[in-house]
Chain A
């Protein structure tokens, strides 16, 4: 059996030595390297997922043992809890506003930096900085002050403070996400710089306008990176927490307009101690994110172009 097996990658230098013990030892070594990850995946990922699925069918307040209530958490969530639906609407609105704006700005800046010879590295770093700072509580507090009554935006445009107006508060939070366009921009720029220049030269010789070059070379060649950014930023946007917490002092106001899904989940689970209900919410979030990702992957077949797949 050992002799008929085809070695996959390693050169057959050890054929003379009986193969099995050596291979088993190497396999054992692999599991030693993997052991922290395996332990973490089992105890901190798989087990909690199973437990939270179970808890989502129970009433549980952390102190008394969970009591089975069947689907009641789910039916209550979908049919009897208007705040739940407001949190769904707030989150979806936010995702639909923030992600496309952020990616459009990231792509525009990446295109501008691509055609720049001097100063590209400087701008790239400078535009990237907010992506590191933006997740902090400090910046969230600055945002609240700038968009508050009497803050900079109020003074400039006379609109009043956005964070106190139900229709506007969400937009202030979305702008904080747009402000952090640097991370997808850096990825776009790296993708743009990998597109072979000959493609543009050939198109220019054929008389293609800049717009046609953009539509027929840049976008198809960049589509895998575009797809990566879209998936990543969408998933992250679904989970935003800190800015909404800071802007609304943890309450999701005004009028629940910034009551993001995660904020309401925190409120149900850790403020109101309805761990069963919060678990049900977490599972719905998991399924929705899974479904959105699956849809993105499915539609990607029609618009993402992988150069290595063949000659178009």
Chain B
């Protein structure tokens, strides 16, 4: 009886249709919070709380004009600039320092390579909070609290081991003959790294750059403890100011600013989704 079922099932298209219907339904549920956010940010003030309709009765852009004024006399343009500065610095730092370390681990031989590699992997699992307080004390001693240094400097020191691992995995897949050819042509390790290996590692570097950007952009905890002057705030920290202000009149502008804060991530996702999904897939399977 059971032997007949596989043949029957494949001949019916119902299964495939049901699959698509199920996936589309799941997608609608999942996209609901995003639709809700966009719709609420465009609602007139009296509908933000009271109305049960998802869609606004008319498009009202006043929430956005209020949001553009910013928080604590700091404009959204400046908040956006601050967020971009931190995320951009983090991207440059991570790509540079992680690819350097990854090349050493993937290709060069040196003493204690095995134990150091194991240690590097272990730091991927290390909870951020275990080192947070002393790091804060160190940066406090250096007079760097309430500057962007504590947010950017660690990225130039390859502290995000996940990306070192990602790039190591990628570099191991490159043929060794390339460097041997470069060495015969007289390239030292530095020239063969910059001229031969780095250009070929581009997909892994792009994945690193995009993830670093998005994670830094979304980061809240680190910015919360290191930054306290409103003019140094990022979009994320400005949104936090709305968390405290629970007055309902600020609801509309709060969600308008939320949309502005999410926009770069959405754009990045749409532009680079292939790199993101492939990068995430390879992190778990080839490893």
| A residues with CB within 8 A of B | 8-11, 13, 26-27, 29-34, 36-37, 39-41, 43-45, 47-49, 51-52, 55, 62, 109, 112-113, 115-116, 119, 123-133, 135-139, 141-143, 145-146, 150, 152, 155, 179, 183, 186-187, 189-191, 194, 204, 207, 209, 225, 228-229, 231-232, 235, 238-239, 241-242, 245-246, 249-250, 262, 265-266, 269-270, 275, 278-279, 282-283, 285-286, 289, 293
Chain B residues, Cβ within 8 Å of A131: 280
Find the residue from B6, B104, B284 having the highest chain A CB count within 10 A.
B284
Chain B residues, Cβ within 8 Å of A146: 33, 36
Q: Is B56's beta carbon under 8 Å from chain A?
A: no
Instruction: Indicate if the CB atoms of A52 and B130 lie closer than 8 Å.
Output: yes
Q: Is B255's beta carbon under 8 Å from chain A?
A: yes
Given contacts A40-B97, A119-B20, A138-B258, A48 and B158 within 8 Å (CB-CB):
no
Instruction: Indicate if the CB atoms of A37 and B30 lie closer than 8 Å.
Output: no
Which of A126, A139, A225 contacts B284, CB < 8 Å?
A225
Instruction: Indicate if the CB atoms of A138 and B158 lie closer than 8 Å.
Output: no
Q: Is B282's beta carbon under 8 Å from chain A?
A: yes
CB-nearest residue of chain B to A209: B2
Q: Is B242's beta carbon under 8 Å from chain A?
A: yes
| B residues with CB within 8 A of A | 2-3, 5-6, 16, 19-20, 22-23, 26-27, 30-34, 36-37, 40, 49, 52, 96-97, 100-101, 103-104, 108-111, 116, 119-120, 123, 125-138, 140, 154, 156-159, 164, 180, 184, 188-190, 193, 214-215, 217-218, 220-221, 224-225, 236, 239-240, 242-244, 246, 251, 254-255, 258-259, 261-262, 265-266, 268-269, 273, 276-277, 280-285, 287
Chain B residues, Cβ within 8 Å of A135: 215, 218
Chain B residues, Cβ within 8 Å of A152: 32, 36
Chain B residues, Cβ within 8 Å of A109: 23, 26
B209, chain A: closest CB distance, angstroms = 14
Within the assembled complex, what's the spacing in Å between the Cα atoms of A234 and B52? 37
Chain B residues, Cβ within 8 Å of A150: 49
Which of A9, A187, A246, A286 contacts B280, CB < 8 Å?
A187
Instruction: Indicate if the CB atoms of A270 and B225 lie closer than 8 Å.
Output: yes
Given contacts A137-B240, A225-B284, A262-B129, A34 and B258 within 8 Å (CB-CB):
no
Instruction: Indicate if the CB atoms of B239 and A138 lie closer than 8 Å.
Output: yes
A72, chain B: closest CB distance, angstroms = 17
Instruction: Indicate if the CB atoms of B131 and A41 lie closer than 8 Å.
Output: no
9 pairs of residues in contact across A and B, judged by CB atoms under 8 Å = A13-B184, A29-B108, A45-B123, A48-B132, A48-B133, A109-B26, A127-B30, A186-B281, A269-B132
Given contacts A152-B36, A191-B285, A37 and B100 within 8 Å (CB-CB):
yes
Instruction: Indicate if the CB atoms of A239 and B133 lie closer than 8 Å.
Output: no
CB-nearest residue of chain A to B26: A109
Chain B residues, Cβ within 8 Å of A129: 269
Within the assembled complex, what's the spacing in Å between the Cα atoms of A125 and B132? 34
Within the assembled complex, what's the spacing in Å between the Cα atoms of A228 and B127? 17
Chain A residues, Cβ within 8 Å of B132: 48, 269, 282
Instruction: Indicate if the CB atoms of A33 and B36 lie closer than 8 Å.
Output: no
Within the assembled complex, what's the spacing in Å between the Cα atoms of A8 and B284? 29
Instruction: Indicate if the CB atoms of B244 and A249 lie closer than 8 Å.
Output: yes
Within the assembled complex, what's the spacing in Å between the Cα atoms of A143 and B109? 50
Chain B residues, Cβ within 8 Å of A189: 281
CB-nearest residue of chain A to B246: A249
Instruction: Indicate if the CB atoms of A132 and B129 lie closer than 8 Å.
Output: no
Instruction: Indicate if the CB atoms of B164 and A286 lie closer than 8 Å.
Output: no
Chain B residues, Cβ within 8 Å of A13: 180, 184
Instruction: Indicate if the CB atoms of B100 and A33 lie closer than 8 Å.
Output: yes
Chain A residues, Cβ within 8 Å of B214: 132
What are the 10 closest A-B residue pairs judged by CB atoms, nearest first? Answer: A40-B157, A48-B134, A187-B284, A138-B258, A190-B281, A37-B101, A30-B110, A30-B108, A51-B134, A33-B104
